[in-house]
Amino acid sequence: MSDPETPFFPSSLGSAVQETRRALDRIERLNPSINAMICTTAEPALRTAEALDRAAAAGEWRGLLHGMTVSVKDNVDLAGVPTTAASVILKDNIARTNAFVVDRLVRNGAVIVGKANLHEWVFGPTSQSLHFGPVRNPWNTGHIAGGSSGGSGASVAAGMCVASIGSDTAGSIRLPASFNGVAGLRPTVGRISTTGSLPVSPPFDTLGPLARRVSDVARVFAAIAGHDPRDPLSADVPVPNFLAQLNEPVRGLRLGIQRRWFYEDLDPDIAAAMERALDVFRSLGVELVDIDLGDVQNAQQMLTFTMIPADAMRLHRERIAERAADYGADVLMRMRLGENVSGEQYAQAMRWMEGWRHRLRGVFQRVDAILSPTTPATAPAAQGLDFAQAIRRIPRFSCAWPIAGIPSLAVPCGLSGEGLPMSLELAAGWYNEPTLLRLGHAYQSLTDHHLRAAPVLHA
């Protein structure tokens, strides 16, 4: 891997074409078993790679991502390719133009190898898609890959690409990152434009990168962050040099620890992994500070069971009236929860949200970031999965940060006794992604969890 401040280039392989062929070969070989990709874009990917190699031969670099292979979640527009959101209703929905993030990827020299599978309509944590088939976990294909960006996480873990673009409303980047053993960043809402992506709940929707290395997450983030006047929620704020800050020391930073809720009812392996992670941060000179987040346990109810279903139902009401039979039962059940959310209940959730944001402002005056497990358990088995239980347990921790609009980063922190990935999560104040990336990068500098290969790669 090149230095973080230089353009990405697959020097170990020698060329963008070789990197791209390797990615496409892996998709061809492994996708039948894990179903991470809805479609590939082999011909345009190879044309792009050839052009990048010609430029490199002339001494030209096409941006931060020159030669990096990337998959794009299939709720994000890629011109000339269907954007399906894993729904049969959109199977012929050919995108006319690129999404904002895709334009940024292309401008920075990325090679897009295809569209990643996901939970239908971007609306669930399992990616057990009715119409396009379930995404299977590269670490154990009998287990789920998480969602809704399950294909993004699985495609990175399976070596089908270096990075992927996912979306996150209540955990949809970080949960698949956790279950697939990769890093995933949910940025501050507004930091990355959502123009050209299918929404779930616009006040909470954001796009973000997944990759094995935090340094590659930072690289992709640096390429795609920025203001977009077409997006009403896009923030017109300066974009710092994330890569230049990546290697700054973390000694002296303060890391908040909320033992209640976040460290309760954990799988024993995850509890032990979190204690080891605390030791790593101590060895880096990070100060651990006990904090009190009050009624943090209410975040999931307010976000996942109140505001998001109500927002999603408003977006889908007409389609459901006409084509309810074409919705998966789990997705339809969750959306119909939104029909029962009263105006007063929604207003109550918004009042709680404002109080929560006020509380976090105070907390982030005392600490630089907060550390928690990403999920309370490793990826569950697909067979016999109870969706109603999964929707409560899997995103148990992940809702606290989206409802505040703040950034958070999932980072691999080991394997369970069953050989399944475990993950820690770092959260920071609004637009403070640089601190998250520094902490995550520093953690990876002392650990090798992100370097372990999923068993599917050895099959």
Question: Which residues are known to be catalytic?
Answer: 73, 148, 172
The DSSP 8-state label assigned to residue 76 in this structure reads B
| Helices 268-283 & 433-445 angle (0-180, nearest 10) | 100
DSSP 237-274: -----HHHHTTS--TT-EEEE--TTTTSS--HHHHHHH
How far apart (Å, rounded) are the C-alpha atoms in residues 198 and 83? 9
**Do residues 122 and 169 touch, judged by C-beta distance below 8 A?**
yes
CB proximity list for 270: less than 8 A, separation 6 or greater: 373, 375, 376, 377, 378, 416, 422
Q: Judging by DSSP bridges, how do beta strands 369-373 and 254-257 pair with one another?
A: parallel
Half-sphere exposure of 334 (CA within 13 A, CB side): 27
- Using DSSP's 3-state secondary structure scheme, residue 148 falls into coil
- Using DSSP's 3-state secondary structure scheme, residue 163 falls into strand
How far apart (Å, rounded) are the C-alpha atoms in residues 97 and 110? 17
* Nearest one of 13, 352, 20, 307 to 162, comparing CA atoms: 20
How far apart (Å, rounded) are the C-alpha atoms in residues 208 and 353? 23
Q: How many helices (H) and strands (E) does the chain have?
A: 14, 15
How far apart (Å, rounded) are the C-alpha atoms in residues 458 and 131? 29
* Nearest one of 174, 203, 41, 184 to 110, comparing CA atoms: 41
How far apart (Å, rounded) are the C-alpha atoms in residues 309 and 322? 19
**Do residues 144 and 171 touch, judged by C-beta distance below 8 A?**
no
CB proximity list for 304: less than 8 A, separation 6 or greater: 170, 391, 395, 399
**Do residues 70 and 146 touch, judged by C-beta distance below 8 A?**
no
